[in-house]
Amino acid sequence: MGVAAADNRDQAPLLQAQPAEIPFKRTGNVWTAVAHIITGVIGSGVLSLAWSMAQLGWIAGPLAMLFFALITLLSTFLLCDSYRSPDPEYGPARNRSYLEAVYVNLGKRNAWVCGLFVQISLFGTGIAYTITSAISMRAIQKSNCYHKEGHEASCDFGDSSNMLVFGVVQIVLSQIPNFHNLQWLSILAAFMSFTYSSIGLGLGLAEVVGDGYVEGSIGGISSSSAAEKVWLVSQAIGDIAFAYPYSLILIEIQDTLMSPPPENQTMKKASTIAITVTTFFYLCCGGFGYAAFGDATPGNLLTGFGFYEPYWLIDFANACIMLHLVGGYQVFSQPLFANVEKWFAGKFPGSRFVNDSHTLKLPLLPDIRLNLLRLCFRSVYVVLTTGIAMVFPYFNQVLGVHGSLIFWPLSVYFPVEMYFKQRNIQAWTTKWVMLRTFSIFCLLLSLFALIGSIQGLISAKLS
């Protein structure tokens, strides 16, 4: 079944941006996979973890992070077995992307549904990154203002102009033809994410040591009503869900591993190490942030002005965030660009608008190759993400909606279903019941987080 399906992959052009498989030497090992996973996971979501911890308290907060770490680890173990078909260790057919694995194991209809969620995930990430970058630009402006005028000064700056600046930069960068030209940008983004996350961790630790005591409580931040507390808890769960999963890049990372040993064994070991390191880092960032500020913990640890000094370090951290998000936006958008443009090229093979490229010559600059479809579609895409971000510029609520909407289908449902198919798990066996119960529980948890995050988004817009 796996080989036959693999031979018919050209029937689903929108679902993949991969060309025909070109043989190359795979040299990756456990430690290269660990590095890829950690750089792919740690990002802007870490900045909301202190706020999430504050909503949940000292018991539920760490337990929630550990719970999502275990869910992520289990789903990655299931997904690792979908790289080869039909046998997870020695199958001759390789699935080189998440969507390809879904297509081979579950068929075209499931692949299209999965593809829809993947595109929503990529588009939503673009919106979240636009909001976060604008907040970081504003934080630099406010930090410099507070340093000059004093901490009690009225330093108010808007986000709209910052979002427009970020959008213009992305329109220019989006004309880069494909993902292979973005390696330098991806490396820069990974370095920046480690830098600002470490600064946030260090500032939180320094604040706790300087104060000499730990803020916070077992129940988290008190609220005016039980309903409000429930909504805040659900948003916190959504934010944590945004910070953890890496299912979309797992199979691509696995495709870089040498064999023997079997790639799924190496990937499971790498995932265990990476999730352990990431969880420790997350617990430290969230824990020290909450310990430093207690009920006053800001939604974004580096832009909510729990910290004022040293102002230059706050500026540097937020500059790192901006650089990371400039690159991260393209890393997440380019696969969507490639999918859509490949579909247009297959649908309209004779269209000059779709297929022809033109050379733009500018003084003192190298020639620029422009394609009209790429110019128009990618520019409209950036305008849409920027426009939606300007309408809903709410960091924690947007992360909550995005995380809760995408977490269950991409990190739980499809990995479980592919595992059932590949391992030929029969209905009502012990393993089937346990995994089905696990999937349903994660669905209910995601719905709870999604409803609360949408409520928070609407409330923030109306207030």
Contact between 326 and 173 under an 8 Å Cβ cutoff? The reply is yes
Quote the strand ranges of 67-112, DSSP E: 84-85, 93-94
Separation between Cα atoms, residue 30 and residue 61, nearest integer Å: 30
pLDDT of 181:
52
Nearest to 126 by CA among 407, 397, 325, 335: 325
pLDDT of 149:
79
CB neighbour class for 259 (10 Å; exposed up to 12, middle 13-18, buried from 19)? middle
pLDDT of 159:
81
320-336 in b/e burial notation, b at 16+ Cβ within 10 A? Answer: bbbbbbbbbbbbbbbbb
pLDDT of 1:
39
pLDDT of 2:
38
pLDDT of 362:
64
Contact between 277 and 38 under an 8 Å Cβ cutoff? The reply is yes
**Hunting for tokens 């209905």 — which residue is that?**
427
SS3 85: strand
**Average pLDDT, 10 consecutive residues per value, the chain (463 residues):** 36 40 66 78 79 92 93 90 76 80 89 89 88 87 82 77 91 72 62 81 84 85 87 91 82 81 87 90 88 84 66 85 81 79 84 76 67 88 93 87 90 92 88 93 93 90 83
Beta-carbon contacts of 12 under 8 Å, excluding residues fewer than 6 positions away, are 103, 108, 111, 112, 115
pLDDT of 327:
77
Give the pTM: 0.81
What are the φ/ψ torsions at residue 370 (nearest 5 degrees)?
Answer: -115, 140
Half-sphere exposure of 351 (CA within 13 A, CB side): 14
Beta bridge partners of 370: 358
Residue 192 CA from chain centroid, whole number: 15
Contact between 255 and 19 under an 8 Å Cβ cutoff? The reply is no
CA-atom Rg of the chain in angstroms: 23
Quote the strand ranges of 53-97, DSSP E: 84-85, 93-94
Q: Please write the tens of the pLDDT for every residue from 32-75.
A: 788 778 777 776 678 889 899 999 999 999 999 999 999 999 98
Contact between 290 and 216 under an 8 Å Cβ cutoff? The reply is yes
Contact between 3 and 104 under an 8 Å Cβ cutoff? The reply is no
Separation between Cα atoms, residue 173 and residue 50, nearest integer Å: 32
What are the φ/ψ torsions at residue 191 (nearest 5 degrees)?
Answer: -65, -40
Separation between Cα atoms, residue 54 and residue 203, nearest integer Å: 17
